[in-house]
């Protein structure tokens, strides 16, 4: 892939982030409130089924998804084809901002909604949400976020390679960062995080030789979790004299760019499920430096006031 192509895709990815909340019509309010007042004692299997069938109808057999190019969008298409209970359902894709705005509105009105959800993200701290059980393991139990490097980076920039290889933080680090980022710009939160955690940064940069303005380009996906990790790694690399460019693109392009050598590395891949198809396509042509965050998760999620627990509780569309 040539550089022109990859830069063009960047523009497209940037654009998709600005798509405003798409016209996902408000659901009628009838019935929805009643479903939440069910006394557990009365929850026979039959009643559960009834209320779950009601959910399907109330959400118009639609899952509120995010960007079309996200890994979780592909996982959700797989879920729709693998679960009988989702037969005839659709996934509405627009943007993360549109999904969050729809979630906010529905939540405020205690109306049902089924979203594609993931951690690390602030939404579980902001709203009472639960993942639906996924007995067929389409989304996997736990994901990890990994660091990848282009072939030859270790020889060309051993110091940068070492810092990328060592970079890791926890789910808690990332989620408290993302909560802060509700009030501040991500680069500012990153600076604050590094100021408060210089001991961790010191472990990553320990013994690494300083360079004088060597350029390094990291590809990332445009979600806040990856903007956060990339900004933190950028600051760590800068402490050793690297000049770091961060380029947000779709997940497929992250892998293409690192595999072709157009980008030097990335802290954005989610495995073993979310980005598996892109990973497997390019696996011969990049180096996997292992997890930088463990305990990530993706799946279908609903507000806890909804009376369903599993994807299998749903009913196929007629
Ligand atoms: N996400 C967040 C992305 C990766 C980071 C789970 C929404 C996805 O590709 O699905």
* Ligand 1 cavity residues, CB under 6 Å: 66, 70-72, 118, 221, 223, 225-226, 251, 270, 274, 298
- Give me ligand 1 centre to Cα 23, in Å: 23
Contact 265, 153 (CB under 8 A): yes
Out of 251, 255, 271, mutate this one to test ligand 1's pocket (max ligand atoms within 8 Å of CB): namely 251
What is the C-alpha to C-alpha distance for residues 221 and 10, in angstroms, rounded to an integer? 10
Kindly report the length of the chain. 318
Token pair 């627990």 in the structure block, residue: 309
Q: What is the pLDDT of residues 7-57, one digit of tens each?
A: 555 544 544 443 333 333 333 333 343 444 444 444 555 555 555 568 999
- The secondary structure of residue 25, as a DSSP letter, is P
Q: What is the pLDDT of residue 54?
A: 87
- Give me ligand 1 centre to Cα 195, in Å: 27
Please tell me whether residue 212 adopts helix, strand or coil conformation.
coil
- For 127-223, where are the alpha helices, taking DSSP H only? 153-156, 158-166, 171-180, 186-196, 198-205
What does pLDDT average to over the chain? Answer: 89
- Give me ligand 1 centre to Cα 240, in Å: 30
Q: Which two tokens stand for residue 65?
A: 């998804």
Out of 171, 223, 296, 301, mutate this one to test ligand 1's pocket (max ligand atoms within 8 Å of CB): namely 223
Confidence of residue 96 (pLDDT cuts 50, 70, 90): very high
Q: What is the pLDDT of residues 110-137, one digit of tens each?
A: 999 999 999 999 999 999 999 999 999 9
Q: Which two tokens stand for residue 25?
A: 């019509």
DSSP states of 54-95: HHHHHTTTEEE---TTSHHHHHHHHHHHH-GGGTT-EEE-S-
Out of 118, 119, 301, mutate this one to test ligand 1's pocket (max ligand atoms within 8 Å of CB): namely 118
- Give me ligand 1 centre to Cα 225, in Å: 9
- Give me ligand 1 centre to Cα 161, in Å: 24
Q: What is the pLDDT of residue 134?
A: 98
Through-space distance between the first and last CA atoms of the chain, rounded to whole angstroms: 45
What is the C-alpha to C-alpha distance for residues 80 and 8, in angstroms, rounded to an integer? 32
Token pair 């009105």 in the structure block, residue: 109
Q: What is the pLDDT of residue 6?
A: 62
270 pLDDT more than 70: yes
Geometric angle at alpha carbon 222, from 219 and 228, rounded to 5°: 80
Q: What is the average per-residue pLDDT within 89-118?
A: 98
Out of 79, 248, 277, 298, mutate this one to test ligand 1's pocket (max ligand atoms within 8 Å of CB): namely 298
107 pLDDT more than 90: yes
What is the C-alpha to C-alpha distance for residues 316 and 65, in angstroms, rounded to an integer? 18
Q: What is the pLDDT of residues 195-227, one digit of tens each?
A: 999 999 999 999 999 999 999 999 999 999 999
Confidence of residue 176 (pLDDT cuts 50, 70, 90): very high
Please tell me whether residue 113 adopts helix, strand or coil conformation.
coil
Q: What is the pLDDT of residue 207?
A: 98
- Give me ligand 1 centre to Cα 116, in Å: 10
- Give me ligand 1 centre to Cα 318, in Å: 31
pTM of the model: 0.86
- Give me ligand 1 centre to Cα 72, in Å: 6
Q: What residues contact residue 166 under an 8 Å CB cut-off, 6+ apart?
A: 203, 204
Ligand 1 atom with the shortest distance to the CA of 296: 6
């Amino acid at each position: 892939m040539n550089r022109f192509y990859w830069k063009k895709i960047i523009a497209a990815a940037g654009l998709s982030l600005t798509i405003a909340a798409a016209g996902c019509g408000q659901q009628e309010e009838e019935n929805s409130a009643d479903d939440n007042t069910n006394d557990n004692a009365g929850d026979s299997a039959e009643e559960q089924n009834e209320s779950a069938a009601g959910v399907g109808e109330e959400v118009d057999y639609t899952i509120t998804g995010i960007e079309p190019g996200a890994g979780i969008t592909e996982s959700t298409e797989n879920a729709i084809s693998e679960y009988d209970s989702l037969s005839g359902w659709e996934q509405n894709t627009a943007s993360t901002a549109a999904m969050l705005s729809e979630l906010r509105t529905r939540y405020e009105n205690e109306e049902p909604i089924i979203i594609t959800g993931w951690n690390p993200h602030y939404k579980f701290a902001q709203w009472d949400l639960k993942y639906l059980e996924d007995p067929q393991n389409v989304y996997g139990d736990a994901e990890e976020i990994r660091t990848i490097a282009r072939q030859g980076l270790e020889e060309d920039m051993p110091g940068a390679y070492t810092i990328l290889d060592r970079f890791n933080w926890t789910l808690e680090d990332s989620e408290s960062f993302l909560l802060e980022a509700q009030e501040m710009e991500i680069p500012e939160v990153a600076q604050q995080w590094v100021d408060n955690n210089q001991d961790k940064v010191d472990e990553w940069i320990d013994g690494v030789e300083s360079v004088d303005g060597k350029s390094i380009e990291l590809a990332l996906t445009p979600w806040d979790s990856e903007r956060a990790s990339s900004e933190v790694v950028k600051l760590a690399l800068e402490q050793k004299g690297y000049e770091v460019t961060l380029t947000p693109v779709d997940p497929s392009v992250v892998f293409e760019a690192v595999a072709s050598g157009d980008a030097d590395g990335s802290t954005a891949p989610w495995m073993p499920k979310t980005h598996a198809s892109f990973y497997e396509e390019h696996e011969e042509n990049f180096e996997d430096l292992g997890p930088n965050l463990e305990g990530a998760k993706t799946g279908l999620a609903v507000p806890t006031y909804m009376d369903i627990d599993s994807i299998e509780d749903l009913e196929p569309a007629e």
